[in-house]
Amino acid sequence: MLDIKFIRENKEIVLKNIKKKFQDEKLPLVGEVIELDEKIRKLKFEKDTLRQERNTTSDEIGALFREKKVEEANAKKQRVININNQLEEIETEESQLSEVLKSKMMVIPNIIDDSVPIGKDDNENVEIEKFGEPFVRDYEIPYHADICEALGCLDKDSAGRTSGNGFYYLVGDIARLHEATIAYARDFMISKGFTYAIPPFMIRSDVVTGVMSFAEMDAMMYKIEGEDLYLIGTSEHSMIGKFKDQIIDEKELPIAMTSYSPCFRKEVGAHGLEERGLYRVHQFEKQEMIVLCKPEDAMDWYNKMWKFTVEFFRSMGISVRTLECCSGDLADLKVKSCDVEAWSPRQQKYFEVGSCSTLGDAQARRLGIRMKTENGNQYLATLNNTVIASPRSLIAILEQGYQKDGSVIIPEVLKPYMGGKEKIEKY
């Protein structure tokens, strides 16, 4: 959410930014917000004027009573009563207008960084750099679900009976490999100086609307019936929410944390092979990283964070690339974002395995997270990045480690988490 003062003083910048994101339907909101802000400021001025009159009148009443001028004093008392009634009406109107203002401001997108490429959707995202060779085997690599089933390690039929489409049972060495990647991701990030955390897996609506847009919430989140609780779609939600309404001494910044959680997403629109496989599922596990820092340090952290993910995947021998998200593909709270994509030798193309974003002070402003500085309390910056999301990471490991005999080579760094096991074979 932008600062109302910024919108008031930089109307053309805000309008231009909306156009860059191809959201022209939101252009009228800027004028509406400025008009509402003007009305609210007038009401505040009226309140201040009335309060000043009430204070002056109250002093006069005391003096009149001391002078035995009861009739005049009572007339003044009636004026105070009238002022109090006026103040109550004004406060009610101000509160109502403030709610409308807030709801409109939360729909206006954050100002994107000048370096973000302009484009309508993810088809216009821009490749930044490749890491590792995008190789092709001289033998056929099966679909990842078929590899798992051939190894006796995936059961989606049973999951369909217990839970429906989009769920799965992982069994045996693939289940173990899944957990090995999460454990390795945890230790990898701890080695980078991040503090490990396991957050709540359900959060309240005021936290949800603090960390994401309404459109994202409706498309992603599962709500707990009868309670003000949502299942998290990523641990970033509860990790940023951890600092809601807090004032953090700037000397304590940056705060860098890495968190494990299961994640739950509606994944509306997943069809065909994606339903049969593990790419789009309703439940998965994830190792995340979040950073809270001074706004001027945010871009340095952004570049550190996506590089950590690249380093992590390369340490497992997985070829990846980074992809700059264009303006139309950025969620409304984001300033800049890039995806990390792993190479699929089966499909001979890249697929997303992680995403890194800097959000400026948008989440901090919504959640009331500030830093204490010599110049007073100010909003700080927040960032988030995927270390690993499994089972998507499994797809990359399975395809890039698949052998002609049907076995899968386990990456060297994961062997200690697999009891020294070299490869996965059918029992």
Q: pLDDT tens across 177-209, in order? A: 999 999 999 999 999 999 999 999 999 999 999
Which pair of structure tokens corresponds to residue 190? Answer: 């701890």
SS3 assignment, position 275? helix
Q: What is the pLDDT of residue 80?
A: 86
Q: Residue 231, by phi and psi: left (phi above 0), alpha (psi -120 to 50) or beta?
A: beta
Residue type, 78: Q
Give 277-294 pLDDT, tens digit per residue: 888 899 999 999 999 999
Please give the mean pLDDT across all residues of the chain.
93
Pairing of strands 408-409, 381-390: unpaired
**Cis peptide bond prior to 295, omega within 30° of 0:** no
Q: How far is CA 13 from CA 18, 118, 165, 182, 350, in A?
A: 9, 15, 45, 42, 35
Query: What pLDDT does residue 275 have?
Result: 56
- pLDDT over 80 (residue 276): no
The residues that bridge with 358 in the sheet, in sequence order, are 336, 383
Q: Three-state DSSP class for 252?
A: helix
Residues in the chain, total: 427
In the predicted model, what is the mean pLDDT of residues 400-418? 96
Q: Name the strand (E) or helix (H) holding 409.
A: strand 408-409
Written as one string, the DSSP assignment of 78-106 is HHHHHHHHHHHHHHHHHHHHHHHHHHHHT
Sign of the torsion formed by the C-alpha atoms of 371, 112, 388 and 203: positive
Tokens 């008392």 appear where? Answer: 77
Cα radius of gyration (the chain): 28
pLDDT value of position 15: 97
Query: Where residue 65 falls among pLDDT bands split at 50, 70, 90?
Result: confident
Nearest to 118 by CA among 339, 329, 303, 322: 329
CB contact at 8 A, 323 and 125 = yes
Task: Give the per-residue pLDDT at 273.
Answer: 40
Instruction: Work out the angle between the directed axes of helices 298-315 and 172-191 (0-180°, nearest 10).
Output: 140
Q: Following DSSP, what letter does each residue of 129-187 receive, concatenated?
A: EEES-----SS----HHHHHHHTT-EEHHHHHHHT-TT--EE-HHHHHHHHHHHHHHHH
How many C-beta atoms lie closer than 10 Å to residue 409's C-beta?
Answer: 14
Domains of the chain, each with CATH number or no CATH: 4-105 (1.10.287.40), 122-424 (3.30.930.10)
Q: Strand, coil or helix: what is 351? A: strand
* Average pLDDT for 54-67: 84
Q: Please answer whether residues 391 and 281 qualify as being in contact, where contact means their C-beta atoms are separated by less than 8 angstroms.
A: yes
Query: Rounded to whole angstroms, how far apart are CA atoms 172 and 180?
Result: 12
What 3-state DSSP class applies to 263?
A: strand
CB neighbour burial string for 294-323, b if at least 16 within 10 angstroms, e if fewer: eeeebbebbebbbebbbebbeebebbbbbb
The answer to whether residues 48 and 94 touch, using CB atoms and an 8 Å cutoff, is: no
The average pLDDT across 38-44 equals 96
Residue 274: strand, helix, or coil: helix
| Residue 270 predicted with pLDDT over 70 | no
Q: Would you give the end-to-end CA distance of the chain in angstroms?
A: 54
Among residues of the chain, what percentage have pLDDT more than 70?
A: 98
The C-alpha atoms of residue 19 and residue 285 are separated, in whole angstroms, by 36
For the residues 340-348, what does the mean pLDDT come to?
Answer: 95
**Average of pLDDT values for 130-142?**
93
Torsion of CA 421, 424, 425, 426, to 10 degrees: 120
Confidence category of residue 72, pLDDT binned at 50, 70, 90: confident
Residue scoring higher pLDDT (275 or 7): 7
Is residue 143 predicted with pLDDT exceeding 90? yes
The pair of three-digit structure tokens given for residue 192, joined into one six-digit string: 């980078």
pLDDT digits (tens, 9 = 90+) for 354-393: 999 999 999 999 999 999 999 999 999 999 999 999 889 9
- Confidence class for position 268, pLDDT limits 50, 70, 90: low
